[in-house]
A and B are shown apart, each in its own frame.
Chain A
C-alpha cells in the first residue's frame, strides 16, 4: 500500500509535458542535496544530487537547480512519463553530520 502520505502537495502533469517540483530546505549551511523518488511501498530511489558550489546539474531527463540565496531546490523532469508518477523528496546534508534531512515530499501524477 501507500507508504507516504495522504496530505502531500500534488502536481498533476500531462504525459509528455515538463514537470517542476520545488523544495525549500532548512539549513543555509547544508552543502549537499539529493532528490529521491519514492514509489508506493518502496524505498527512496536516488535521482540526482548537487553540491552547494553548483547552481545547476543535469542528468538524463532531469535537472536540479539550486538557489542558495532563498534556500530553494527544484527538480525539472523533461517529457514526463507515466513511470515518473511517484512522491519526490529533496534531502539536505548538513556539513559535518551523518544525517540527511528530508523535505515533506511532492506527489507527481502523470495524466495520460
Chain B
C-alpha cells in the first residue's frame, strides 16, 4: 500500500540552527501538507502546497518556515532558525485532490530543540 515516508524520524538540534525535514508523498498525489503536533496538543495545520506553490498557510507558518519540492518526489519543510517552541512532531501528508479528499499522513519527524 502506498504511504507517505518521512526522514528523519527524530532530530535534536540547537536553538538557532536550521532544520530540514524531508517527505516523500504518495506518488500520484498532487497536494502536499505539513502539520505539527506539540506534545499534549492537537494536530495543527501549517501549510499546503500545490503546483509548486503554497496554496494556504496558517498563522504558525511564519517567515522562519519554508517549503519546497526540489524534485519530482521530495517535499521539504525548512525551519530557518529554530526556537525552543518549535519542538514538536511534524507530519507530512498528501492527497489526490483538494478539499473533500482524504489526506494520508506519514509517521512524523520528532524535532527536539535544545
Residues of chain A within 8 A (CB-CB) of B40 are: 4-7
Query: CA separation between A81 and B48, bound complex, in Å?
Result: 35
Whether B75 sits at the interface, judged by CB under 8 Å, is no
Residues of chain B within 8 A (CB-CB) of A98 are: 31, 33, 48, 50, 55-56, 98-99
Segment touching B, from A14-22, A38-46, A54-62, A63-71: A38-46
Query: CA separation between A49 and B48, bound complex, in Å?
Result: 20
Q: Which listed residue (A3, A6, A96, A97) contacts B108, Cβ 8 A?
A: A3
Contact-residue bracket for chain B: 20 to 34
A27 to chain B, nearest CB (A): 12
Q: How many A-B residue contacts, CB cutoff 8 Å?
A: 73
Binary contact track B90-109/A, C-beta < 8 Å → 1, others 0? 01000000111111111110
A104 to chain B, nearest CB (A): 6
Whether B18 sits at the interface, judged by CB under 8 Å, is no
A83 to chain B, nearest CB (A): 17
Query: CA separation between A31 and B45, bound complex, in Å?
Result: 18
B103 to chain A, nearest CB (A): 6
Whether B89 sits at the interface, judged by CB under 8 Å, is yes
**Chain B residues in the interface with A (C-beta under 8 A):** 4, 31, 33, 37, 39-45, 48, 50, 55-56, 58, 89, 91, 98-108, 110
